[in-house]
Amino acid sequence: MRQLPAHSLIYLADQGHAPYGQRPLAEIRDFAGGITRFLLAQGSQVIVVACNTASAAALHWLRREFPDVPFVGMEPAVKPAVERSRTHHVGVIATAATFQGELFASLLERYASDVIVHTQVCPELVPLVEAGELDTPRTRAAVEDYLAPLTAAGIDELVLGCTHYPFLRPLIEVALGPDVDVIDPAPAVARQTARVLAQRGWLDGEGARPLGAPRPRRSVCFYTTGDPARFGVALHRLLGLEAPVCAAAWAPDGQLRQIAK
């Protein structure tokens, strides 16, 4: 939203199936396909797979399944972590499915030949963020337990391999101490989305309206397969947004449909 202030945004939170991290990869691919069809039906031009788990499980498949649709995926920022590391020990925290996907294996093969990458699965963190427990004793204890093996291994770079984890960054930085840098790949993903739009001639609606015509008014639409009221509270708590949230539901045929207000 900050990177592309003139562009409309359609966001689908599949809270009915969250968390994805422990689900089979084939099931996640099915969810990703249904979500993509839903977003395209709403008029989306570019699909951002704003989930490391879904990107690991489905990004290559989505690009084959929808060859005319530009996708921007998430991947753990192993390359910048390796480039910055002084100790040659890098940590990555993510879900089990992210580490099992071919994207992560490819990242290690391409960039991590000269460093040791220490991985840590953190199954409790996504449910804690979803529940709004951003700074509770339970959350602090979970963060400290997950990070202890990584600090003991001597990492000096930690990659946040899940889009929920930046909301816990203050706790993570305290647990790591001042000698470990934390890398959040989200800003790079926003910049890549802008580049993709520019390459297609869609940036700021260029090429989509007659010369001199007024710019279309931006809209932001939020959908959830969970409880819209609960998601609205999360939007306010996490992002400071006050916005209506619409309900979407999975049909027996695996398709997503908006529920009438």
Give dist(CA 224, CA 245) in Å, integer: 7
The residue among 56, 61, 19 whose CA lies nearest residue 36 is: 61
User: What string of DSSP letters covers 92-105?
Assistant: EEE-HHHHHSHHHH
Residues 6+ apart with CB under 8 A from 189: 48, 50, 72, 74
Give dist(CA 207, CA 171) in Å, integer: 45
The residue among 43, 37, 38, 33 whose CA lies nearest residue 9 is: 43
Total length of the chain = 261
Give dist(CA 95, CA 100) in Å, integer: 9
- Identified catalytic residue from 122, 162, 221, 246: 162
Give dist(CA 228, CA 236) in Å, integer: 12
Report residue 165: phi and psi, to 5°: -65, -30
Per the annotation, the verdict on 51 as an active-site residue is yes
As annotated, the active-site residues are 51, 162
